[in-house]
Amino acid sequence: MPKLVDHQERREALARALWRVVDQHGWTKVTMREVAREAGVSLGHLQHYFTSRTELLTFAMDLTAAQTGDRITRALAALDQPPHPRDVLRLVLAEMLPLGPEARASSRMRAAYVLETLHDPALREQAGLGLREGRAMVESLVRQAIAQGQIAPDRDPDVETDLVLALTGFAPLLELEVIEPQAALAAVDQHLDRLFAAAP
């Protein structure tokens, strides 16, 4: 199906033009007109692939999420198999924080997307779904570790899941250089060490 593949590739190229606009000029410049200009195409051409700004943003965010997922999958494959749940959580958190160029781009896209959803119910629904899936994945790792005795049985899996997710809160502090990458990773490690402390 070369036509469908071309269509997808074209859409990905346009989404990357959106990212370049975000990176170079900030979120305020993310209009259909500006993305078309950055991609070197006409507004009509862009509108052929994305009928609305919401559709373009949703596609760009899905692509960001897929690329973050790919990075995590590749890094997981490099761990001892089966990987220890602590290592999986550390790896996921490290990929969610703006510590390298790709992760930084994804992190900025996510932060901008959250703000955008506050004024767009369709985007908000979509973003909520994605984040709830991410939360469910972390929760299942925590529950599995409790069942296997790697996390003490008196830990509340819901609270522990939320406390792991809170560590993504280092993203803005890293962006503004309030904390250093090493300090963020040391804090992540400290938190995970306590979570996975030997059951009593």
Per CB under 8 A, residues contacting a copy of itself are: 24-28, 30-31, 108, 110-112, 114-120, 124, 127-128, 131-132, 135, 156, 158-159, 162-163, 165-173, 175-179, 183-184, 186-187, 190-191, 194
Nearer to a copy of itself, 121 or 149 (CB): 121
CB of 80 to a copy of itself, least distance (A): 27
CB of 49 to a copy of itself, least distance (A): 20
Six token digits for residue 199: 């059951």
Residue 127, CB half-sphere, CA atoms under 13 Å: how many? 22
Six token digits for residue 122: 């369709």
CB of 97 to a copy of itself, least distance (A): 10
Nearer to a copy of itself, 1 or 115 (CB): 115
> For 79, which DSSP code?
S
If you search the block for the tokens 């790919």, which residue do you land on? 70
CB of 38 to a copy of itself, least distance (A): 14
Neighbours of 43 (CB within 10 A): 14
φ and ψ of 42, to 5 deg: -80, 160
